[in-house]
């Protein structure tokens, strides 16, 4: 299946006119640079279902135009203006829509407990209505306030979690 995953993301990147920077040192991290021309994503080598979904997620940010205001593109900050929780949920929704096979339980736990849930728990809840900055990926340039987790966000959380329970990060919809 790895061959199909790789071919799939390469075709999607080509369609999106996005450069894929594959870093074998990345395992569970990635970053998108949508404001660059051409846009690019730094992603792990696809070695399993999770790394495939990570790449799809980053390409989802490109699809949605989630620019992050890095210099010299300080005026391009749609990711923050759209809402960080909403932007992350949109990229995960896109990844789920594009995925060419069934979502594995381990992937569901990763998508919530490591990824989307971390923005909810360590971002939204930790900021508690105060302005914040995202420190990784050179995204500290934009001061923003987390958006509220709305019905759309909740629907994507439910789609990610499926029928699983007992996630590390609890979400009360």
More reliable by pLDDT, 17 or 173? 17
Mean pLDDT computed over 165-169: 93
Q: Does some domain include residue 167?
A: no
- Predicted local distance difference test score (pLDDT) of residue 24: 82
**What pLDDT score does 127 carry?**
86
Q: Is residue 173 part of a domain?
A: no
Does 172 have pLDDT greater than 90? no
CA distance 22 to 55: 9
Give the domain extent around 13: 2-161
pLDDT, tens only, 132-160: 999 888 889 999 999 999 999 999 999 99
pLDDT at 84: 97
Q: Is residue 22 part of a domain?
A: yes
Q: What is the pLDDT of residue 29?
A: 78
Q: Which long-range contacts (CB under 8 A, 24 or more apart) does 4-11 make?
A: 4/100, 5/46, 5/49, 5/52, 5/100, 6/46, 8/52, 8/98, 8/100, 9/43, 9/46, 9/52, 9/55, 9/56, 9/59
Read off φ and ψ for residue 84, nearest 5 degrees: -60, -45
Q: Of 93, 42, 37, 38, whose CA–CA distance to 64 is shortest?
A: 93
What is the DSSP pairing of strand 19-23 with strand 31-33? unpaired
Domain-embedded: residue 50: yes
Mean of pLDDT values over 48-53: 96
Number of domains in the chain: 1
Interhelix angle 151-161/84-98, rounded to 10 degrees, is 40
Residue 59 domain-assigned (yes or no): yes
169 within a domain of the structure (yes/no): no
Q: What is the pLDDT of residue 124?
A: 86
81's enclosing H/E stretch is: helix 78-82
pLDDT, tens digit, 9 for 90 and up, residues 93-118: 999 999 999 999 999 999 999 999 99
The average pLDDT across 43-68 equals 97
- Is residue 172 one of the residues assigned to a domain? no
Q: What is the CA radius of gyration of the chain?
A: 15
Tokens at residue 24, please?
């074998």
pLDDT exceeds cutoff 90 at 125: no
Q: pLDDT exceeding 90 applies to what percent of the chain?
A: 87
Averaged confidence pLDDT in the chain: 94
Q: Looking at the domain assignment, is residue 171 inside a domain?
A: no
Do strands 31-33 and 40-44 pair parallel, antiparallel, or not at all (unpaired)? antiparallel
pLDDT at 173 over 80: no
Q: Would you state the pLDDT for residue 27?
A: 73
């Amino acid at each position: 299946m790895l061959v199909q995953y790789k071919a799939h993301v390469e075709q999607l990147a080509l369609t999106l006119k996005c450069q894929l920077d594959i870093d074998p040192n990345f395992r569970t991290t990635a970053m998108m640079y949508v404001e660059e021309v051409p846009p690019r994503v730094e992603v792990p080598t696809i070695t399993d279902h999770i790394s495939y979904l990570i790449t799809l997620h980053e390409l989802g940010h490109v699809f949605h135009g989630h620019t992050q205001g890095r210099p010299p593109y300080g005026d391009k900050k749609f990711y923050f203006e759209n809402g960080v929780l909403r932007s992350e949920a949109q990229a995960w929704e896109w990844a789920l829509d594009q995925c060419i096979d069934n979502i594995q339980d381990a992937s569901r736990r990763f998508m919530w407990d490591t990824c989307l849930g971390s923005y909810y728990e360590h971002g939204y809840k930790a900021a508690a209505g105060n302005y914040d900055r995202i420190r990784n990926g050179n995204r500290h340039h934009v001061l923003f306030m987390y958006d509220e987790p709305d019905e759309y966000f909740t629907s994507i959380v439910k789609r990610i979690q499926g029928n699983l329970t007992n996630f590390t990060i609890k979400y009360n919809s």
